[in-house]
A and B are shown apart, each in its own frame.
Chain A
C-alpha cells in the first residue's frame, strides 16, 4: 500500500515538468509554429527560477522568474522565425544551444546552493486518507497548476472563438490571413505562451523536484515534451496521459536502479529516451495511411502579402 502510494506520488512529481512544457508547446504547434527550443527555454527557466528563489527566498517569485525567462527566450525565436521568416527547425536548435549556454552562465554562481523546495498542500484528515489522500490532496502548487493549465488550454482551444481562430491559423495560415486575422501576431502570442510554460516547467525542477541547481538538469525533458505533443496527436487531454506515462517510465527506471538487479544503470537511464523513440514509431505506424493529425501549416513560414 505504502509502496503504491510512494510510486504514485513520485510519478506525478516526475511528470509535472513534462506536462507544463508540453502544454505550452501544444498551443504553439496548434498555431502552426514548431519551436524545437523547448529544452533551451526549460533550462534557462530552471536557472533563473533557482536564482530568483535563492535571492528572494520565495518559490513563487522563483517560478515567476522562470516564466519570464522562458518567455524572453521565446521572444528571440519569435523575432527570427515570425519577423524574419527564418527556418523554424534550425532556429529552434539555435534556441536550445543558446539556452544551454545561458543557463550555465546564469547558474554558475548557484552550484552547490540549497533552497527550501516548494511546500505541499495539507488539509487535515483529507490528506491523511490512505493511498489517495496524499496523491490527490498533498501535492505542491505546481502540480495543481499544471492540471488547471491543461483544462484552461482545452477550454480555450475548443470552447472559445479565440481558440478557434488560433487553430485556424495553424491549419491554414493563408486562409486565416485572407479572412483578416493577424496571423503573425497570433503566432507570436502563442510562442510567448509556450516559452512561459517551458520556463515554468524548467523552474519546477530546481524549485520542487530537487531543491538545488545542477547544470544540464533538464536532461532532455524538453525534447521528450516535444515528442509528447506528437504522441498526444495535438489533443490536450491525451497529453496528460502521455506525460504521466513518461513520468512513470522515469520513476520505474529509478526504482529498478535502486533494487540493484544487476542491470547496468546506463541502460536504465536510457529507458526514457528509448521509450520516446518507441512511442513515436508506434504512434506514427498506427496512424499509418490515415495521415498525420498535425496542424497543416506546422513549421511553415508565413510572410503576409502587403
Chain B
C-alpha cells in the first residue's frame, strides 16, 4: 500500500475555507514542539505568544497598526500572484515609497508648509513604489529577465539607498550623528484615529484598498483578466488579453500599494527615516497573501494573524527570553503549511496498492 495524490473532479470549496485554519493549527502544534525544544513550557509559551496579546487593549491596537502595511502590500501582491506574476521585491518597493514620500517631509521640514504635505507625501510614496516596481516588470516583458530575481535584488539596493540617505545627505544635523533624518513636522504626520492611541488613518486606507480590490477582482473586466491570465494563459491570449501588459499593470499596482504602505509607516509610526524602518513587512506580506488565499477579505484576516506573530514574538522575547528570530521561523513554517494544505483543495489522498509491475521499457 502507498499513499498517493489524486486529482479531485472539481475544487473543494470546503477545503478552500478550512485549509488556512488547518495550517494555523499545525503551526501552533509545531510551535509547541519548538518551544519544548528550546526548553520553555509549551502551553504557557503558546499562550504568551498567540493569546495574551488578544487580551490586552494596547496590544490589540498594535496588531491593527502592524496589520496595516501588511494588508496594503499583500493586496497588491495577491493581484500579481493571481496573474502568475512573481513580484517578491515588495520590501524594496516599500522602502522606496518611504524614501520618496519621506523626501517631501524632509524637504519641507521647518518651512511652515501647510496641510497639503501629507497628501502629497502619500502620492509621492505610491509613485515611488510603482516606479521601482516598473523596473523588474519592464526587464521581464522587454528582455525576458526573471522578475523573481530582479525584484529581489532590488530589495538589497533599496536598503543600501536608504542607508546612504540617512547617513549622508538627509541626516539630521542636530541628530547627534545618529543615522536618522529630522523628526517630521506635524503636517507630515499621519493623524491618529483616537486621541492618544497609535491607531492611525492608514488603517482606514487599508480597509478602502481591500474594498476596492474586492470590487475590482469580482466585478470588473480587469479583475477577470487578472484571474484568467493566471489560470489559463493560453485561453487568455486567444481572448485578446496581453499577458505582457498585465505583468506591467500588476507590478505597478502592487508597487504603488507597497510604496503607499512605506510612506504611511514612516509618517504614522516612525516619524523620521532611519535604516531599519521595516521588520520585513514586504516578505511577511507574501505569507499574508497566501494565507488569505489571494482574496482581499481573506488577506485582511491573515494580516491580523501575522501581525499577532510580530507582537507575540516581541512579548515572548521579553518574558520568555527567546530570540526574536523565532517569529521568522513561525512565519516560514506557516507558509509551508498553507501551501501544503492548499494541495488538498485540488487533490485528495488515496491509498493505492503497491505497484505490481513496471510498465513500458526501461
**Proximity bits, A19-53, B CB within 8 Å = 1, else 0:** 00000000000000000100010000000000000
Inter-chain CA distance A10–B166, complex, in Å, is 31
A-B contact count (CB 8 A): 158
Q: Quick one: closest B residue to A36, CB to CB?
A: B148
Partner of A220, one of B153, B328, B336: B153
List A contacts of B352 (CB < 8 A).
306
- Tell me, rounded to whole Å, the shortest Cβ–Cβ distance linking B101 to chain A: 20
B323 located at the interface, meaning its Cβ lies under 8 Å from any Cβ of chain A in the complex? yes
Inter-chain CA distance A85–B156, complex, in Å, is 31
Task: Give chain A interface residues in 210-249, CB to chain B under 8 Å.
Answer: 215, 219-220, 223, 226-227, 230
**Proximity bits, B118-156, A CB within 8 Å = 1, else 0:** 000000000000000000000100011110111011101
Judge whether A273 and B325 touch: CB under 8 Å: no
Give the size category of B's interface with A. Answer: 35 or more
With contacts A280-B149, A281-B143 known, is A180 near B358, CB below 8 A? Answer: yes
Judge whether A287 and B144 touch: CB under 8 Å: yes
Judge whether A281 and B164 touch: CB under 8 Å: no
Judge whether B339 and A94 touch: CB under 8 Å: yes
Partner of B154, one of A98, A104, A277, A292: A277
Judge whether B290 and A274 touch: CB under 8 Å: no
Judge whether B323 and A108 touch: CB under 8 Å: yes
With contacts A91-B336, A108-B325 known, is A223 near B152, CB below 8 A? Answer: yes
List B contacts of A227 (CB < 8 A).
146, 149, 153
Task: Give chain A interface residues in 68-119, CB to chain B under 8 Å.
Answer: 76, 80, 84-87, 89-91, 93-105, 108
Judge whether A90 and B335 touch: CB under 8 Å: yes
Partner of B286, one of A93, A95, A267, A273: A93
Judge whether A93 and B326 touch: CB under 8 Å: no
Judge whether B339 and A105 touch: CB under 8 Å: no
Judge whether B164 and A101 touch: CB under 8 Å: no
Q: Quick one: closest B residue to A226, CB to CB?
A: B149
List B contacts of A93 (CB < 8 A).
88, 283, 286, 335
List B contacts of A87 (CB < 8 A).
339, 342
Judge whether B347 and A85 touch: CB under 8 Å: yes
Judge whether A303 and B325 touch: CB under 8 Å: no
A160 located at the interface, meaning its Cβ lies under 8 Å from any Cβ of chain B in the complex? no
- Tell me, rounded to whole Å, the shortest Cβ–Cβ distance linking A267 to chain B: 7
Q: Quick one: closest A residue to B167, CB to CB?
A: A266
Inter-chain CA distance A86–B342, complex, in Å, is 8
List B contacts of A276 (CB < 8 A).
149, 153
Interface of A, helix, strand, loop or mixed by DSSP: helix
B333 located at the interface, meaning its Cβ lies under 8 Å from any Cβ of chain A in the complex? yes
- Tell me, rounded to whole Å, the shortest Cβ–Cβ distance linking B361 to chain A: 7
Judge whether A86 and B340 touch: CB under 8 Å: yes
List B contacts of A180 (CB < 8 A).
358-362
List B contacts of A99 (CB < 8 A).
332
Inter-chain CA distance A80–B332, complex, in Å, is 13
Residue with the highest number of chain B CB atoms closer than 10 Å, among A40, A219, A264: A264
B5 located at the interface, meaning its Cβ lies under 8 Å from any Cβ of chain A in the complex? yes
Partner of A270, one of B146, B156, B362: B156
A284 located at the interface, meaning its Cβ lies under 8 Å from any Cβ of chain B in the complex? yes
With contacts A86-B339, A303-B347 known, is A266 near B160, CB below 8 A? Answer: yes
With contacts A101-B327, A105-B326, A108-B323 known, is A84 near B340, CB below 8 A? Answer: yes
A304 located at the interface, meaning its Cβ lies under 8 Å from any Cβ of chain B in the complex? yes
Partner of B329, one of A76, A98, A288: A98
Judge whether B139 and A281 touch: CB under 8 Å: yes
A269 located at the interface, meaning its Cβ lies under 8 Å from any Cβ of chain B in the complex? yes
**Proximity bits, A263-306, B CB within 8 Å = 1, else 0:** 01011011001101100110111011000100000000001101
Q: Given A80-B340, A99-B332, A266-B160, list of 4 further CB < 8 A pairs? A: A87-B342, A95-B336, A98-B333, A281-B145
* Shortest 7 CB-CB contacts between residues of A and residues of B: A98-B332, A104-B325, A101-B328, A101-B329, A94-B335, A266-B164, A97-B332
A-B contact pairs, 23 of them (CB 8 A): A84-B340, A85-B5, A90-B290, A91-B339, A93-B283, A94-B287, A95-B336, A98-B333, A103-B325, A104-B325, A105-B38, A178-B360, A180-B359, A180-B360, A226-B149, A266-B161, A270-B161, A280-B150, A281-B145, A284-B139, A284-B146, A303-B5, A303-B347
